[in-house]
């Protein structure tokens, strides 16, 4: 029998290793039910940095789920954001600002987690421009990509930027965060939301800090997670996304159902019907 080692014949893989678009989700959906974590926040709030920290923890076997990493369809996509937080000569500072594609399709990163006893969970994370969320906060119709995220996510992580809340435009930043938080509260409809305050090495005025803490507790029923890469007294940088994954994986009162209204969407065609709160 002739060996076909080195043969270039065959079918190409149905994914590139880059972040997934909506058309790419069939590869993940074919494995089983996916758990979707939406990272929400204004531009430069730190969404991509938190994702990069989550990925580096998985590579090193640290964090809540580092020892459970079981593969990814988006290894190149993870590497593209994670390399910015590595030591020199590979490190290049914080990940650059996420740019918006012309087709306004959400970019999704994938990770498989081994939860034991042949139980592998598929996790999807959003990595989209903060400008989308700023538009969605004031008019959901202006950001169809974010509305898709709001409809599909199992859990949300919302970020407040201490640098913006302590800067010269802190009043505007406070109002923008409040508007986004109220929009997300309504869209989540009882699904868990993890409030996070990033860059806490920046001193936020006491009145704004108290307002932020009270708002997050009132809307989301959770204390604010405070993180910073420069402040050792803050919580680990991996904590926000880890908490989002835990919330997305938490048992839900649900039954598997076929949604014919979204049957052309491989991710949304088979979903768990959640009981309304």
Q: Give 46: exposed, middle or buried? Use CB within 10 Å, 0-12, 13-18, 19+.
A: buried
Q: Give 236: exposed, middle or buried? Use CB within 10 Å, 0-12, 13-18, 19+.
A: middle
Can you spell out the DSSP letters for 75-126? HHHHHHHHGGGSPTTT--SSPPPPPPPTT-PPPEEEEEEE-STT-EEEEEEE
Whether the bond between 100 and the residue before it is cis, its omega within 30 degrees of 0, is: no
Is residue 12 over pLDDT 60? no
The pLDDT value given to residue 142:
83
Mean model confidence pLDDT for the chain: 81
CA distance 249 to 116: 14
Is residue 254 over pLDDT 50? no
Contact 121, 10 (CB under 8 A): no
Note the pLDDT tens digit of each residue in 150-185. Answer: 999 999 999 999 999 999 999 999 999 999 999 999
CA distance 20 to 36: 13
The pLDDT value given to residue 257:
40
The DSSP secondary-structure symbol of 159 reads E
Describe the strand order of the beta sheet including 120-126 as a list of residue ranges.
Answer: 108-114, 120-126, 34-41, 155-161, 193-198, 225-226
Note the pLDDT tens digit of each residue in 53-85. Answer: 888 888 888 888 888 888 888 888 888 876 655
The pLDDT value given to residue 23:
73
Note the pLDDT tens digit of each residue in 239-251. Answer: 999 999 999 999 8
* Of the ranges 111-120, 187-196, 222-231, 262-271, the best mean pLDDT one: 187-196
Tell me the whole-structure pTM to 2 decimals.
0.80
């Amino acid at each position: 029998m002739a060996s076909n080692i080195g043969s270039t014949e065959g079918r190409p893989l149905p994914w590139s290793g880059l972040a997934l678009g909506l058309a790419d989700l069939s590869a993940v959906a074919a494995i089983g039910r996916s758990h979707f974590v939406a990272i929400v926040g204004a531009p430069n709030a730190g969404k991509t940095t938190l994702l990069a920290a989550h990925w580096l923890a998985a590579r090193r076997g640290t964090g809540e789920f580092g020892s459970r990493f079981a593969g990814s369809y988006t290894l190149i996509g993870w590497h593209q954001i994670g390399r910015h937080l590595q030591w020199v000569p590979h490190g290049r500072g914080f990940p650059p600002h996420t740019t918006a594609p012309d087709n306004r399709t959400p970019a999704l990163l994938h990770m498989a987690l081994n939860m034991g006893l042949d139980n592998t969970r598929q996790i999807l994370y959003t990595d989209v421009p903060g400008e989308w969320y700023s538009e969605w906060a004031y008019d959901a119709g202006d950001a169809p990509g974010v509305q898709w995220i709001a409809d599909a996510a199992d859990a949300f992580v919302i970020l407040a930027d201490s640098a913006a809340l302590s800067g010269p435009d802190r009043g505007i930043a406070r109002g923008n965060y409040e508007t986004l938080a109220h929009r997300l509260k309504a869209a989540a409809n009882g699904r868990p939301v993890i409030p996070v305050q990033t860059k806490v090495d920046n001193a936020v005025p006491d009145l704004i800090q108290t307002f932020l803490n009270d708002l997050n507790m009132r809307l989301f029923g959770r204390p604010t997670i405070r993180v910073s890469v420069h402040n050792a007294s803050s919580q680990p940088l991996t904590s926000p996304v880890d908490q989002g994954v835990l919330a997305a994986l938490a048992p839900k009162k649900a039954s598997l159902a076929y949604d014919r209204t979204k049957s052309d969407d491989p991710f949304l065609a088979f979903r768990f019907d959640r009981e309304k709160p």
